[in-house]
Structure 1
């Protein structure tokens, strides 16, 4: 018989409860501009989206089936300063041995946010080009593409191209990345489970085209706040010791590993894909999907 007043509070082992329990751990890896309380509420709310199975949503079931994978995805989102369960960082159910699990995938808006957070870019342009659009871009002559859209049209046709570029704060323009359908298909084919009913390639095709272009753009522009911090430190040391100062080489940004497998080997794509084949890039092939 339990003595009154000695009852132990029952631990909340639901996915929402786990998020709350590890709030401090998430906060320790978040960038300083993120509010942990807001981030936790967004993560908990994300579990209540999508289809329902009985009393639980699919994402809740997937998270409960493999809590370790779920928490690892959230930790990755927290480290990057991205909101889980949004277009910045997708929480997608996938089947592993017949059971649903969580797959964390950085979305194209998440990559754009990382680019902005580095502090060197004033604007990022990423657009899909459809069959009935007018698109023109000549590398070496044009700083950026010309893209004309008939906004009154009820049908712009099928997806044809996708492009992305950035304007730096000093007024310069980044390299323009252009991908045609053949290049996109190679990326899609390299993504395990791309034909799954849960895959963003099935549910959000245009967003995945945009992500493919933005992900390649990230190779050509800074995406880490560490680079900005290093630059500030360099300027401070230069001001303190102008006579003896020697500028160090800035280190590369931390690579972002995603759940979705994208093969960077698409650098052998046709000439409509403007990218250097020997550029290492900041986003390595994703390890799992």
Structure 2
């Protein structure tokens, strides 16, 4: 179907720029989305050998996506380790998840990011360390301090007190786990370059559970199916801590890339294409240009309002409609 609206043209261009064209071409030419081969002659490469060779067909695209500080070889070394766990995922979803990860310059090694399998769909999930890595890259943050406070440890929070007495915490890693007790709070704050410290974010378990229940569609799906295999189920403390760090991002001047990482994670959680939210200057420039064009087009379609006739004499006085009509009829008779 022919694209007719500006919104559709922008969307199609963004999809192509974001890598959707690569995925569609792969499905069309190789029929790799059907691991059983029932819908075509292609089949899912064996994860122990062929999957990485198949993925290297797109090495040029990964090289373009990866930032200069991360080499393609190091990225693919981590990908090799994760591919066996994605053997049942469609190649299109694997390619999209890995390209999204590459555009943020994160390594899917389980430390900065993970690629998980939800049925036949591969999803990119940044860890809390991935968020911290991007905050550091913003150039405004000197260091990020975060962790879990346990019930047997000493801490205090008094926002109205002068710095640094507004928040104090004495960790006791020397104590046995039984004496440290269960975690009761996640905390996170940033020290900024040039001095100063950000607001301290404190998140208790009830707050974390509320975030999970209200915003995580993956958690709701896992609960509904009875599988209970979402990251909130399997790595609750990590997600609790990541929720605190995501709140920290809202009070710390970082970068658009960090905000985009949150949008990408939310898209994956909802089962939507993640790569559309990944950093891409070409697509972003196209969208911005289209928005300007759209506004200009809307402005040009606004009805022109003629000024009201000015009362009184003068050369600029408008003639009544009846007189103008009579004048036109007289000229026609004379002709």
Band the TM-score falls in, shorter-chain normalisation: 0.5 to 0.7
Which protein shows a greater Rg?
2
Which of 11, 20, 43 is matched with 2:79 structurally? 43
Task: Give matches, 1:118-137, under 5 Å.
Answer: 118-137=138-157
* Corresponding position of 2:55: 19
Question: Within the alignment, does 1:116 sit opposite 2:147 as a pair?
Answer: no
Instruction: Give me the whole-angstrom Cα distance separating, in 1, the residues matched to 2:259 and 2:207.
Output: 26
Instruction: Give me the whole-angstrom Cα distance separating, in 1, the residues matched to 2:259 and 2:150.
Output: 34
Question: Within the alignment, does 1:193 sit opposite 2:213 as a pair?
Answer: no
Which TM-score applies when normalising by structure 2?
A: 0.58
Instruction: Give me the whole-angstrom Cα distance separating, in 2, the residues matched to 1:59 and 1:12.
Output: 11
Which of 73, 78, 88 is matched with 1:61 structurally? 88
Q: In the superposition, relative to structure 1, how do residues 260 and 197 fare at CA in structure 2: closer, same or farther (>3 Å)?
A: farther
**Richer in strand (by share):** 1
Which of 162, 168, 189 is matched with 1:165 structurally? 189
Q: State the 1:159 CA deviation.
A: 2.3
Instruction: Give me the whole-angstrom Cα distance separating, in 2, the residues matched to 1:212 and 1:168.
Output: 21
Q: In the superposition, relative to structure 1, how do residues 174 and 101 fare at CA in structure 2: closer, same or farther (>3 Å)?
A: same
Q: State the 1:88 CA deviation.
A: 1.1
Which of 11, 14, 34 is matched with 2:70 structurally? 34
Instruction: Give me the whole-angstrom Cα distance separating, in 2, the residues matched to 1:286 and 1:200.
Output: 10
Instruction: Give me the whole-angstrom Cα distance separating, in 2, the residues matched to 1:73 and 1:185.
Output: 27
Q: State the 1:192 CA deviation.
A: 2.0
More deviation, 171-180/252-261: 252-261
**Richer in helix (by share):** 2
Question: Is the Cα contact below 8 Å between 1:30 and 1:79 reproduced in 2?
Answer: yes
Question: Is the Cα contact below 8 Å between 1:104 and 1:258 reproduced in 2?
Answer: no
Q: CA RMSD in A?
A: 2.7
Q: State the 1:82 CA deviation.
A: 0.2
* Corresponding position of 2:249: 218
Which TM-score applies when normalising by structure 1?
A: 0.66
SS of 1:164's partner is strand
Instruction: Give me the whole-angstrom Cα distance separating, in 1, the residues matched to 2:268 and 2:59.
Output: 30
Q: State the 1:158 CA deviation.
A: 2.1
Question: Is the Cα contact below 8 Å between 1:128 and 1:161 reproduced in 2?
Answer: yes
Question: Is the Cα contact below 8 Å between 2:205 and 2:240 reproduced in 1?
Answer: no
Q: In the superposition, relative to structure 1, how do residues 223 and 83 fare at CA in structure 2: closer, same or farther (>3 Å)?
A: farther
Which of 226, 235, 238 is matched with 1:204 structurally? 235
Instruction: Give me the whole-angstrom Cα distance separating, in 1, the residues matched to 2:54 and 2:145.
Output: 38
* Corresponding position of 2:176: 153
Q: State the 1:128 CA deviation.
A: 0.9
Q: When the two structures are aligned, how many residues end up with a matched partner?
A: 216
- For residues 43-98 of structure 1, give each alpha carbon's deviation from its aligned partner in whole angstroms, at most 9, with x where no partner exists: 12222xxxxxxxxx432223xxx222211111111111000142211111213xxx
Q: In the superposition, relative to structure 1, how do residues 198 and 93 fare at CA in structure 2: closer, same or farther (>3 Å)?
A: farther
The runs of 5 or more residues in structure 1 that have no matched partner are 1-9, 48-56, 227-251, 262-283
